[in-house]
Amino acid sequence: MNFLSKFIFYLKKLFDLAIIICFISSTFLIQSNESLALSKSQGENLFIQHCAGCHVNGGNIIRRKKTLKLAALKRNGLDNPESIAKIARLGIGSMSGYEKVLGEEGDKIVANWIWEQSQNAWVQG
Ligand code: HEC
């Protein structure tokens, strides 16, 4: 092979490699988008099943001031998903914990969803 054909040969290899990289990264992006959407609807489902009975629309039908709205969460020092997940697991005050029914990671999934809702004032669907 002369220099030029060698050069073209490697150029083609490089081109193939670039295509492969594009392909892999795009499937990865699609997957992570799907799993994001999945954990979002999982969070909503967990909330409906285990929390909405008392916290409908992020409120609190038992303790009026202990809502899941941003202002209340801030006032009570719970304005982060970790604190919400801990309460989901272990409960707080007169609320019991839901560790057993939420399943593995369920506390975090529902807490992330609640945290997101609180930042959107519980208005989005
Ligand atoms: C049977 C009713 C009931 C259910 C179901 C329930 N909670 Fe509660 N929740 C309460 C009550 C009552 C309080 C206030 C507790 C206290 O401070 O004495 C509370 C407080 C909270 C707080 C603190 C809010 C604040 O502003 O201080 C968070 C966070 C919370 N609940 C999350 C959850 C999550 C997540 C679920 C579902 C896994 C859930 N709750 C299910 C009754 C309930």
Provide the CATH number for the domain around residue 33.
1.10.760.10
Percent of the chain at pLDDT > 90 equals 80
Residue 1 has pLDDT above 80, yes or no: no
The verdict on residue 124 lying in a domain is no
What are the tens digits of pLDDT across the range 43-80? 999 999 999 999 999 999 999 999 999 999 999 999 99
Q: Is the CB of 109 under 6 A from ligand 1?
A: no
The verdict on residue 125 lying in a domain is no
Q: How many domains does the chain have?
A: 1
Q: Is the CB of 53 under 6 A from ligand 1?
A: yes
Per-residue pLDDT at 82: 97
One-letter-per-residue 3-state SS of the chain: CCHHHHHHHHHHHHHHHHHHHHHHHHHHHHHHHHHHHHHHHHHHHHHHHHCHHHHHHHCCCCCCCCCCCHHHHHHCCCCCHHHHHHHHHHEECCEECCHHHHCCCHHHHHHHHHHHHHHCCCCCC
Residue 84 has pLDDT above 90, yes or no: yes
- Could you tell me the distance, in angstroms and rounded to a whole number, from the CA of residue 19 to the centre of ligand 1? 51
Per-residue pLDDT at 64: 94
pTM for the predicted model, two decimal places? 0.79
The verdict on residue 59 lying in a domain is yes
The verdict on residue 42 lying in a domain is yes
Residue 39: give the domain boundaries. Answer: 3-119
The closest residue, in CA terms, to atom 21 on ligand 1 is: 66
Q: Is the CB of 85 under 6 A from ligand 1?
A: no
The verdict on residue 61 lying in a domain is yes
